[in-house]
């Protein structure tokens, strides 16, 4: 228990009242020497009601300071700790996607742990049981549960670094992950489009659905390997010639569309322009071929963004959720069994450069990656065009 002393009141020159209280600093006080600290609050009245209010405020201030110096005494609720962690992400200006993912995970945690659960009482066995329940009862993928474990650990690490906790129960968690051998056998072809599929999808979008805006956006992705958020962030000023006279697109940030939990909680402008890229390797100059340059020039009448959604109610901003739904619809209507997403066009670009025998390190620089398992899989995969070429060469083989 922290020793507290009586509250005293000072009359201020401006007519207000300053309520003060001293307490023994638990970090520096000893049996022989008490170190006193003071907290205060200024109110407009000195009534009995005002004194009760001052007592509450001062008690909270003292508890906050004590928790910071003696984390093992904190009884913070896990629900409150997750809220503080989300505020911390916001205050430290973490990327939109990170915060959105964190909100989703925090909501999942709150469904599992009772709102009155004290954070320090969560044990490693509880973490094991929860994550294995996610795996085997809720049938979540290993990757999804690893993400959940990452954020759960991040909450506890935040609690430790900010004086609420002393241990992280996820540190020694031993999760028995599922055998996903069969799922991983999914063919790499299901991550990109063949020439015929790409042509069919793009022409259907342009000529049948009459969405030139979608056509230009997705065609540019397949010609540059950019992420959807990178292409959506391009402005006219980003399309330039480099010192060698080659047209390039300068990737200097991301454009996201605020949806889901963040928008429900914060509201405001849906358009999120971030000067950061997904990875440090994302800052780059993407070389443009003739067709990519034509697409850019055709859209340069737009200001300030280069590529606009013609039917967006929000100043032409691209909604990544709407793009996802749009592509799923296109895939269904064309009878393409692949689960289409904007990343397919990026992966298609990688597969085409691989067919052209462009070195892997050059491809990864062009698409803004320092390392990527999927990119390596596509690069080392033999495409249908390469199989045909191999068959032609084998027919010429004479021993």
Q: What is the CATH number of domain 188-390?
A: 1.10.443.10
Tens of pLDDT, residue by residue over 200-258, are 999 999 999 999 999 999 999 999 999 988 898 888 899 999 888 999 999 887 776 66
Tens of pLDDT, residue by residue over 32-63, are 889 999 999 999 999 999 999 999 999 999 98
Q: For residue 276, is pLDDT > 70?
A: no
Three-state SS string over the chain comes to CCCECCCEEEECCCCCEEEEEEEECCCCCCCCCCCEEEEEEEECCCCHHHHHHHHHHHHHHHHHHHHHHCHHHCCCEHHHHHHHHHHHHHHCCCCHHHHHHHHHHHHHHHHHCCCCCEHHHCCHHHHHHHHHHHHHCCCCCHHHHHHHHHHHHHHHHHHHHCCCCCCCCCCCCCCCCCCCHHHHCCCHHHHCCCHHHHHHHHHHHHHHCCCHHHHHHHHHHHHHCCCHHHHHCCEHHHEEECCCCCEEEEECCEEEECCHHHHHHHCCCCEEEECCCCCHHHCEEEECCHHHHHHHHHCCCCCCECCCCCCCCCCCCCCHHHHHHHHHHHHHHHCCCCCCCCHHHHHHHHHHHHHCCCCHHHHHHHHCCCCCHHHHHHHHCCCHHHHHHHHHHHHCCCC
Q: Which two tokens stand for residue 104?
A: 């989703």
* Of 260, 251, 235, nearest in space to 322 by CA: 260
The residues, ordered by sequence, that sit 6+ positions from 149 with a Cβ below 8 Å of its Cβ are: 127, 131, 170, 173, 175
> Residue 31: is it exposed, middle or buried by C-beta count within 10 angstroms (0-12/13-18/19+)?
exposed
Query: What's the pLDDT score for residue 2?
Result: 80
Can you say how many angstroms the Cα of residue 189 is from the centroid of all Cα atoms in its chain?
A: 27
Query: What's the pLDDT score for residue 326?
Result: 95
Query: What's the pLDDT score for residue 352?
Result: 87
Question: In this predicted structure, which of 125-139, 158-172, 236-250, 263-277 has the lowest mean pLDDT?
Answer: 263-277
Fold of 78-184: DNA polymerase; domain 1 (1.10.150)
Structural Rg of the chain based on CA atoms:
29
Say whether the peptide bond before residue 47 is cis (omega within 30 degrees of 0).
Answer: no
Query: What's the pLDDT score for residue 308?
Result: 81
Query: What's the pLDDT score for residue 318?
Result: 81
Query: What's the pLDDT score for residue 314?
Result: 67
- Residue whose tokens read 């047209």: 247
* Of 51, 19, 372, nearest in space to 188 by CA: 372
Q: Which two tokens stand for residue 127?
A: 């973490």
Q: Which two tokens stand for residue 197?
A: 């599929």
Q: Which two tokens stand for residue 170?
A: 């996820």
- As a whole number of angstroms, the distance between CA 230 and CA 251 comes to 6
> Residue 67: is it exposed, middle or buried by C-beta count within 10 angstroms (0-12/13-18/19+)?
middle
Tens of pLDDT, residue by residue over 345-365, are 998 998 888 888 888 888 888
Tens of pLDDT, residue by residue over 362-373, are 888 888 866 666
- As a whole number of angstroms, the distance between CA 369 and CA 391 comes to 33
Reported confidence tier of residue 309, pLDDT bands at 50, 70, 90: confident
- Residue whose tokens read 């209507």: 333
In the chain, domain spans: 8-69, 78-184, 188-390
- As a whole number of angstroms, the distance between CA 286 and CA 73 comes to 54
* Of 153, 138, 139, 142, nearest in space to 105 by CA: 153
Q: State the chain's mean pLDDT as an integer.
A: 85
Q: For residue 161, is pLDDT > 60?
A: yes
């Amino acid at each position: 228990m922290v020793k507290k002393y009586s509250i005293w009141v000072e009359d201020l020159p401006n007519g207000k009242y300053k309520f003060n209280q001293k307490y023994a600093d638990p970090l520096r006080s000893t049996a022989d020497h008490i170190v006193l600290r003071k907290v205060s609050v200024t109110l407009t009245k000195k009534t009995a009601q005002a004194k009760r209010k001052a007592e509450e405020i001062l008690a909270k201030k003292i508890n906050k300071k004590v928790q910071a110096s003696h984390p093992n005494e904190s009884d913070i609720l896990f629900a409150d700790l997750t809220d503080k962690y989300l505020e911390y992400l916001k205050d430290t200006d973490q990327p939109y996607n990170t915060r959105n993912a964190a909100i989703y995970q925090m909501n999942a945690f709150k469904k599992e742990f009772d709102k009155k659960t004290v954070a320090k009482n969560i044990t490693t066995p509880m973490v094991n049981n929860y994550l294995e329940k996610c795996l085997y009862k809720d049938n979540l993928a290993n990757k999804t549960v690893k993400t959940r474990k990452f954020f759960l650990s991040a909450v506890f690490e935040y609690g430790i670094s900010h004086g609420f906790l002393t241990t992280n129960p996820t540190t020694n968690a031993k999760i028995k992950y599922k055998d996903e051998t069969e799922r991983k056998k999914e063919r790499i072809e299901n991550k990109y489009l063949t020439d015929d599929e790409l042509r069919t999808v793009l022409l259907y979008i342009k000529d049948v659905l009459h969405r030139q805006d979608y056509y230009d956006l997705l065609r540019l992705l397949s010609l540059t390997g950019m992420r959807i958020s990178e292409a959506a962030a391009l402005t006219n000023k980003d399309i330039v010639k480099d010192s060698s006279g080659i047209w390039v697109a300068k990737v200097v940030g991301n454009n996201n569309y605020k949806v889901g939990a963040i928008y429900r909680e914060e509201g405001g402008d849906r358009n999120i322009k971030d000067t950061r890229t997904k990875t440090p390797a994302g800052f780059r100059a993407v070389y443009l071929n003739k067709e990519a340059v034509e697409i850019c020039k055709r859209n340069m009448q737009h200001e300030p963004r280069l590529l606009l959604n013609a039917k967006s109610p929000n100043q032409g901003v691209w909604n990544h959720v709407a793009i996802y739904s749009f592509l799923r619809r296109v895939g269904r209507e064309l009878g393409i069994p692949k689960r289409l997403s904007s990343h397919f066009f990026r992966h298609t670009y990688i597969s085409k450069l691989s067919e052209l025998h462009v070195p892997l390190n050059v491809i990864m620089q062009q698409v803004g990656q320092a390392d990527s398992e999927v990119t390596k899989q596509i690069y080392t995969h033999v495409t249908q065009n390469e199989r045909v070429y191999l068959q032609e060469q084998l027919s010429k083989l004479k021993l």
